[in-house]
């Protein structure tokens, strides 16, 4: 492990002042469930670690203007044991419940989940985010069974590891970022980007910014929502494919739909085709199956991950049928 400086500020402004304007100089410690592993495996060589656990405002759960704010340091356990949040946002609760380890639930934070780095074994093995070796990606001709089937036209083949991002995108949530230039708010959907070259990141947050809270808009709890995850095992593991859906109903008719796939692309993958296949229809098994088919249009599986296409279809179908009962 490389030596690093350590700081533990007690205010947001103090924490921001400690961050560098370039990636790789400083790293933020929240729950530490991913960062500490990266540091030990030489996957992060930041010269300064900024612990934000003492900043009390980042643990707040509240409401303002009808919206619901969840501080970035709120843990999975705190979310799941909250008196109202799991019932109001079932898609988010189902995704959080997928993190089955008590240790991860008690330490992992909602902000950390959104900003965790990819689990790609080439990246974790020291080949960089784009898994390049001698100017060529190792993924297409290598072991790519867990890699992307969407958004892989360029050099990025990893999948976004976030459990909470797909349901948050489906619910229309936003994140607040605080940095040296002030405060800005962006949709969760825009937090994730597909890097096109070495040195670029998979998140649009700047190196001198801190993700401080997630905001779920007023009225989101009126949508029927659900998340369905397909896993190899029920013990702690990352899913192979997930689907999060949110439906605004008009009686028995779907007036508006959002369908977001997870673990199949470098970003949470929103399917406009599946949404269009649902809108104006009644929700039954046939409609749900058709939406699953639509959601996988344009998939480009690699040599060893074609099975993910069928898993994505099934995840969409079952998420929709779950939402019907919500």
Joined together, the tokens standing for residue 133 give 């070796």
| Residue 179, SS3 per DSSP | strand
pLDDT at 64: 82
Say if residues 228 and 243 touch (Cβ distance below 8 Å): yes
Rounded CA separation 182/16 (Å): 10
Rounded CA separation 194/200 (Å): 9
Query: Residue 199's domain spans which residues?
Result: 1-326
Rounded CA separation 89/245 (Å): 11
pTM for this prediction: 0.96
> Could you tell me the end-to-end alpha-carbon distance of the chain, in angstroms, rounded to an integer?
47
Say if residues 72 and 31 touch (Cβ distance below 8 Å): no
pLDDT at 144: 98
Tokens 């991860």 — which residue? 104
Q: pLDDT tens digits for the chain (326 residues)?
A: 678 899 999 999 999 999 999 998 999 999 998 888 888 877 777 889 999 999 999 999 999 889 999 999 999 999 999 999 999 999 999 999 999 899 999 999 999 999 999 999 999 999 999 999 999 999 999 999 999 999 999 999 999 999 999 999 999 999 999 999 999 999 999 999 999 998 899 999 999 999 999 999 999 999 999 999 999 987 778 899 999 999 999 999 999 999 999 999 999 999 999 999 999 999 999 999 999 999 999 999 999 999 999 999 999 999 999 999 87
Say if residues 16 and 210 touch (Cβ distance below 8 Å): yes
Count how many domains the chain has: 1
DSSP one-letter string for 281-326: SB-SHHHHHHHHHHHTTT----TT-THHHHHHHHHHHHHHHHHHH-
Q: Please give the DSSP secondary-structure letter assigned to residue 126.
A: I
Joined together, the tokens standing for residue 224 give 């029927």
Other beta carbons less than 10 A from residue 222's beta carbon? 11
Q: Which residue blocks in 43-151 are alpha helix, DSSP H?
A: 76-80, 85-88, 90-97, 102-107, 110-115, 121-122
pLDDT at 48: 92
**CATH number, domain containing residue 147:** 3.30.465.10
């Amino acid at each position: 492990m490389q030596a690093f400086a350590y700081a533990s500020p007690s205010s947001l402004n103090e924490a921001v002042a400690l961050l560098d304007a370039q990636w790789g100089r400083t790293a933020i410690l929240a729950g530490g469930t991913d960062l500490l592993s990266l540091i030990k495996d030489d996957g992060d060589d930041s010269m300064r670690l900024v612990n934000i656990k003492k900043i009390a405002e980042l643990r707040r759960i509240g409401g303002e203007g009808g919206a619901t704010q969840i501080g970035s340091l709120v843990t999975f356990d705190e979310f799941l044991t909250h008196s109202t949040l799991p019932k109001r946002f079932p898609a988010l609760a189902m995704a959080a419940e997928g993190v089955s380890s008590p240790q991860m639930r008690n330490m992992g934070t909602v902000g950390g989940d959104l900003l965790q780095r990819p689990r790609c074994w080439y990246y974790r093995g020291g080949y960089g985010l784009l898994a390049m070796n001698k100017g060529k990606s190792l993924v297409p001709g290598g072991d790519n069974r867990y890699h992307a089937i969407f958004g892989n036209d360029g050099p990025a083949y990893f999948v976004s590891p976030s459990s909470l991002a797909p349901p948050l995108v489906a619910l229309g949530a936003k994140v607040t970022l605080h940095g040296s230039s002030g405060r800005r708010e962006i949709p969760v959907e825009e937090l994730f980007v597909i890097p096109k070259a070495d040195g670029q990141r998979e998140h649009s947050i700047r190196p001198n910014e801190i993700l401080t809270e997630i905001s779920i808009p007023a009225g989101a709890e009126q949508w029927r929502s659900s998340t369905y995850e397909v896993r190899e095992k029920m013990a702690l593991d990352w899913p192979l494919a997930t689907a999060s859906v949110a439906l605004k109903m008009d009686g028995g008719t779907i007036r508006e739909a959002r369908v977001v796939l997870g673990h199949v692309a470098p970003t949470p993958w929103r399917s406009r085709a599946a949404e269009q296949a649902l809108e104006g229809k009644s929700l039954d098994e046939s409609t749900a199956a058709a939406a699953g088919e639509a959601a996988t249009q344009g998939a480009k599986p690699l040599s060893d991950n074609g099975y993910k296409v069928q898993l994505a279809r099934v995840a969409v179908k079952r998420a929709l049928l779950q939402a019907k009962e919500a």
